[in-house]
Amino acid sequence: MRRGFTVVMALLAVASLCGSAAAFSYAEWHYGELVPAGDARSLALGGAGLASADGARGAGLNPALVAKTVGIEIAATAMALTTEEAREEPLYDSFEGIIGYGTYAFNTTMYDRYMGTVSWKPSGGYDWAPAVAIGYHQRLDMSYNYHVQYRDSDTQAEPMDKILHDDWSEGDGGVNAFSVTLAHEVVPAVYLGLGVDFLRGHADAEERRVYPDNSEEEDTNSWFSSDDFSGTQFTVGLLVEKLHRVDMAVVYRSSFELAADYSGEDVEGEEIEGNLTYSYPSAIAVGLEYHPRNEIMTTVSLDIEYTQWSEFEDSLVDDLDLDDTIEYRVGVEHQFFNSTQARFGFLYQSSYMDEETTRAAFCIGLGLDIAGVRLDVGGQLGVREYDIEDGRIRETTTTAMATLTHRF
């Protein structure tokens, strides 16, 4: 009992110093952000694409899209993401009213991620055979970096105020998915797909307080490591095309469990170890693609996804009380006559830590055919602001993504 309590307190201590809100940021750091396995086209459309992608590019969005593979397709995606986190404390007037906020910590961190898919659809006399795809992508991200330096403004130590201590909170790791997908056109314009994600990964978290060399205080350090996460998730997808100029998709992602061994050390130097299980919730999503009745080659995509985070369970912590989340993703794609596409999108999502904590993101992108290779590029700028116990946090995330697709 005492060891279990120590583990829980160590986890909460690390989480409390780092915050509460998305992958690479304060809130979803501990349990991770469920990362959609989209491509640069989907990013530019605000994350939409359940009913509008195809082949290898759509495998991570909706397994039914794999059935639209032509021959052999290879899609490779690279992503760069920059996060800016500003922590602010309130400024009060003489009547204890808040008159503004002052920034006491500002951190910028860059991350890079890579994913890829290969799909194959037999041709010739094998049209009855399903399309097959294998892929690799990140399913959960648990990365985070935070640093703040405290100074004594009343003590001068030229050329700056005296340094009291530095606080560091760092997280690294996540869960990756090796995916296998089968999909087939069961009747004309109706596609069905099944995907299986074999999940593996690890996560490390560390909290440090470092004092100057001339200080009489001793540095403190606590860390927590989860080794060899493993689990399996299933995804079922349906795509129905040309329903009066509308394509419709429905995707169900099953709940899944991640089990791992953990070890660590608390701030008092006591070692902790044991086993943990995270039970992640299921999700259901609906996607639409609308084809207007005119000669302008423009389509509109809309996805809505609901995740029942209130069902999440942590074997080490009781009564988490997480909130269910809903995401709205909308995008517009216009095709020019030279096979070049311009894309715009918008994303609105809530956080499972607090449903009132929401992120809005604006997206833009381009699609080009270059020497027989499809190049899609996309960019996203997301912002959100939310209160914490001693102030508030303002976050800005900037994402750039490029996808190369080739058909043989």
Give the per-residue pLDDT at 203.
Answer: 87
**Higher model confidence: residue 229 or residue 161?**
229
* Section 228-235 average pLDDT: 92
Residue 401 backbone phi and psi in degrees, to 5: -140, 145
How far CA 131 is from CA of 76, 118, 193, in Å, comes to: 19, 11, 9
Give the per-residue pLDDT at 382.
Answer: 94
What is the average pLDDT score of the chain?
85
* 122 has a pLDDT exceeding 60: yes
* 321 has a pLDDT exceeding 50: yes
Distance CA 166, CA 220 (A): 11
> For 355-393, what is each residue's pLDDT tens digit?
888 999 999 999 998 888 999 999 999 999 888 888 888
> For 259-286, what is each residue's pLDDT tens digit?
988 888 877 778 888 888 999 999 999 9
CATH of residue 116's domain is: 2.40.160.60
Q: Which residues span the domain enclosing 256?
A: 2-407
Distance CA 121, CA 130 (A): 7
8 A C-beta contact, residue 254 and residue 232: no
111 pairs with which residues across the strands?
Answer: 81
Please report which confidence band the pLDDT of residue 17 belongs to, taking 50, 70 and 90 as the band edges: very low
Give the per-residue pLDDT at 159.
Answer: 52
* 21 has a pLDDT exceeding 70: no
- The model carries a pTM of 0.85
* 202 has a pLDDT exceeding 80: yes
Give the per-residue pLDDT at 157.
Answer: 55
Give the per-residue pLDDT at 12.
Answer: 31
Among 87-101, 154-168, 170-184, the least confident range: 154-168
Query: Which of 86-90, 92-96, 378-382 is the most confident on average?
Result: 378-382
Give the per-residue pLDDT at 372.
Answer: 81
Give the per-residue pLDDT at 22.
Answer: 37
8 A C-beta contact, residue 39 and residue 73: no
Residue 168 CB contacts under 8 Å (≥ 6 apart), including other chains: 146, 147, 206, 207, 208, 209, 210
Instruction: Quote the number of domains for the chain.
Output: 1
Please report which confidence band the pLDDT of residue 75 belongs to, taking 50, 70 and 90 as the band edges: very high
* 8 has a pLDDT exceeding 70: no
How far CA 228 is from CA of 3, 141, 231, 234, 258, in Å, comes to: 21, 15, 10, 20, 9
8 A C-beta contact, residue 58 and residue 406: no
8 A C-beta contact, residue 113 and residue 155: no
Give the per-residue pLDDT at 3.
Answer: 37
